[in-house]
Structure 1
């Protein structure tokens, strides 16, 4: 069952069975709408280079990296530009098959034919041998709907995969990482020099498709997967692709306000999501809670919870409406996914940051 089909099914079930516990809302922007900061009213000029440096400072990354911190309109937009560049060099692309169907839509729109690897119930990295092609592995950290960060062993496995070929790179979608600094695993991968980090104001500030950064690792920025002049040419082409399709002045002004006047917003989002998750857990039977991995239940800012029980069983035997994992893509895992975004798990009137 795909996402659109499930949404229709969900509405029918909630109308027909009002006693069902709705643990299948996915729209965080609707759920947390009262928290979203307002856009600025002024018309001042904000420069991309200044925003890139402000973003690096906020996430405790070296400001000297600003030369290869490409400003974009969010992770989706950033990936679309990156995928176009990968197609230009005929790179192989690996995507998580059960995380976000839009990954595949963007890749195919860029002319790529991506391969996939599973993440549920645990990530299984591709094992095919390296060859002379440039090869990119996309992962999310933290990963949804896995609902947690890479483990130390999983991070080591990614590094081992990278070391198998000088033409391998990893793309890290860190949009769900709301902490400062970025997760330990993400920083370890950045330290390899072979990572491209994508982040945005989408989840932490609740402004999708507005502003983001694609940070090219030092080795990638220096060589772009090739030696000598060819590498420098390719790097210049990456940079020009982002410059020619940058955020609007209004989006840059909004991003500046979010990073400066609302720097604490991601922490507030984390706190609100933690409170909602706790309300969800209070409503779940012990059997269901026990089927959710501990790492998912305790991951800061998480609102996706994989559970090793089929969605049909949860609905029929426990009165809980969950999402089938097919909503997220192709998978053979028989479990399902719960969320804590429904109004049922929101704060009571006058209680908490949602009502300030």
Structure 2
């Protein structure tokens, strides 16, 4: 089922059965609108190199990497530029089948024909078909850490598998979408994969600062230096750069506040769930900080008919054979008034 179709179905089901517990809201920006800072009307000039260094300092990454820290307008923009380069070098691309359909839209728009691998109920890395001949094409695998809708970070064992996958061929590389990581520095698994020298990291202010399609950083690996010119030729606008500087310098604590609010909402969701449903959420997803996606190995129809809980079918995130569903903690019943109190601590320029 496409997400747009489910969104209409969700509204019909809530109207028909108002007693349903709505655990199917996905709009983070609407749920946390009171936390989102407004841009300042500042005519000053902000330079991309300064933002790159500020971003590296925030995430405790070496400042000498600044020449590889490309400024973008967000993860989508960054992936679009990377995918066009992969098409030019005839790279093979693997995408998670059940995470974010936009990955496939961007890849196909760039002229790629990506393969896929499942992440639900756990990631299963791709391998070439039996008997297929080896070739000299570059190979890239895109992953998200943390991953939605899995709702957790990569485990140590999964990082071991990814490192082994890289070690199997010098032409293999990773693309890491870290947009859901609200902490600083990045998660240990992300840092470990960066240390291989074979990973490209993508990050943005989309989730932590609630400003989608505005500003991001693509940290290129040592072997992707030729991509730098594409980013330099297609930068964010001066207004977007000023906003990014404002977010990083004046609202550096906002991602922690977003994570705290999401943790509070998750607890309210758990308090409302029937015990059988709560027990079906994996512990790693239940305890992952700042998470608002919770997979359960119970079909969405069963949740609705037997437990009075409205959830997202896993297929909304992409083709999957997994029969379970995804719960979220963003709907109004889980708000609890914390957002308004937190927003008041941010000072002028914050929506209330």
> TM-score, normalising length from structure 1?
0.94
Tell me how far 1:260 sits from its aligned partner.
0.4
Aligned to 1:320: 309
Ranges in structure 1 where 5+ consecutive residues have no aligned partner: 225-234
What is the rounded CA distance, in whole Å, between the counterparts of 2:328 and 2:340 in structure 1? 21
The residue number in structure 1 matching 2:350 is none
Unaligned runs of 5+ in 2: 346-352
Say if 1:32 and 1:354, in contact at 8 Å, map to a contact too: no
> Structure 1 residues 304 and 42, CA, compared in 2 at 3 Å: closer, same or farther?
same
Give the secondary structure class of the aligned counterpart of 2:150.
coil
Picking from 260, 270, 274, the partner of 2:249 is 260
Aligned 8 A contact 1:104 1:114 in 2: yes
Tell me the distance in 2 between the aligned counterparts of 1:145 and 1:206: 19
CA distance in 1 between counterparts of 2:258 and 2:339 reads: 17
User: Is the Cα contact below 8 Å between 1:309 and 1:334 reproduced in 2?
Assistant: yes
> Hey, what does 1:203 align to over in structure 2?
207
Q: How many residues align?
A: 341
Verify the 8 A CA contact 1:83 1:107 in the aligned structure 2.
yes
- State the secondary structure of the residue aligned to 2:136: coil
Aligned residue number for residue 276 of structure 1: 265
1:78-157 alignment to 2 at 5 Å?
78-128=78-128, 131-157=135-161
Q: Report what 1:29 is aligned to.
A: 29
Query: Is 1:298 aligned to residue 296 of structure 2?
Result: no
Secondary structure, counterpart of 2:19 in structure 1: coil
Deviations 1:43-62 (A, max 9, x none): 10000000000000000000
TM-score (norm 2): 0.95
Contact 1:307 1:335 in 2 (8 A): yes
Q: Provide the rounded CA distance (Å) in 2 between the counterparts of 1:202 and 1:163.
A: 32
Which residue of structure 2 lines up, in the alignment, with residue 229 of structure 1? Answer: none
Provide Cα deviations, 1:194-216, integer angstroms capped at 9, x if missing partner.
00000000000000000000001
Aligned counterparts of 2:12 and 2:22: Cα–Cα separation in 1: 12
Q: What are the equivalent positions in structure 2 for 1:47-58 lying under 5 Å apart? A: 47-58=47-58
CA apart distance, 1:349: 7.8
Which residue in the other structure is 1:232 paired with?
A: none
Q: Summarize deviations over 1:54-98 as a string: whole Å, max 9, x none.
A: 000000000100000000000011000000000010100000000
Q: Is the 1:306–1:335 contact (alpha carbons within 8 Å) kept by the matching residues of 2?
A: yes
Separation of aligned partners in 1, 2:339 and 2:62: 41
Asked if 1:335 corresponds to 2:339, the answer is no
SS at 2:303 equivalent? helix
Shift of 1:137: 0.2
Secondary structure, aligned partner of 2:151: coil
Alignment-derived partner of residue 231 in structure 1 = none
CA drift of 1:352 comes to 3.6
1:355 deviates by: 5.7
Corresponding residue number in structure 1 for 2:219: 215
What residue is the counterpart of 2:335 in the other structure? 346
Partner of 1:243: 232
Q: CA deviation at 1:31?
A: 0.3
* TM-superposition CA deviations, 1:289-335 (whole Å, max 9, x none): 11100000000110000001000000000000000011000100000
In the TM superposition, what is the alpha-carbon distance from 1:287 to its structure 2 partner? 0.2
